[in-house]
Amino acid sequence: MAERTVSSLKAIVSRNSLFFFFTMTSFLFLMSWFFVLRSTDRPHFIDHNLLPNSKLFSFNNDGTKSQMQNQNVESSFGNRAILVDSEDVEEENGKKKNPKKFDGGNCMKNDKDVVKVFMYDLPSEFHFGLLNWKASGNSVWPDIRTAIPGYPGGLNLQHSIEFWLTLDILASEFPNSSKARTVIRVRNSSEADVIFVPFFSSLSFNRYSKTNPHEKKTRNMILQEKLVKYLTSQEEWKRSGGKDHLILAHHPNSMLDARMKLWPATFILSDFGRYPPSIANVEKDVIAPYKHLISSYVNDVSTFDSRQTLLYFQGAIYRKDV
pTM: 0.62
Sign of the alpha-carbon torsion through 281, 287, 290, 291: negative
Bridge partners of residue 172, in order along the sequence: none
Q: Are strands 245-248 and 91-92 parallel, antiparallel or unpaired?
A: unpaired
Instruction: Give the torsion through C-alpha atoms of 172, 176, 179, 180, to 10 deg.
Output: -50
> What is the structure's pLDDT at 92?
41
* 322 residues of the chain, pLDDT tens digit each: 555 554 665 556 566 677 777 787 777 777 766 554 554 444 444 444 444 443 333 334 444 433 333 333 333 333 323 223 333 333 444 444 454 444 444 444 555 678 999 999 999 999 999 999 998 888 999 999 999 999 998 888 889 999 999 999 999 998 877 666 789 999 999 999 999 999 999 999 999 999 888 888 999 999 999 999 999 999 999 999 999 999 999 999 999 999 999 999 999 999 888 889 999 999 999 999 887 766 777 788 888 788 888 776 665 555 555 4
Q: How far apart are CA 143 and CA 122, in angstroms?
A: 16
**In the chain, what are the helix, strand and coil shares in percent, each to the nearest 5?**
30, 10, 55
Name beta bridge partners: 247: 197, 267
Q: Over the Cα atoms of the chain, what is R_g?
A: 27
**Residue 80 three-state SS:** strand
- Residue pair 53/283 in contact by the 8 Å Cβ criterion: yes
* Inter-residue contact 65 to 59 (CB < 8 Å): yes
Cα–Cα distance, 238 to 261 (Å, whole number): 13
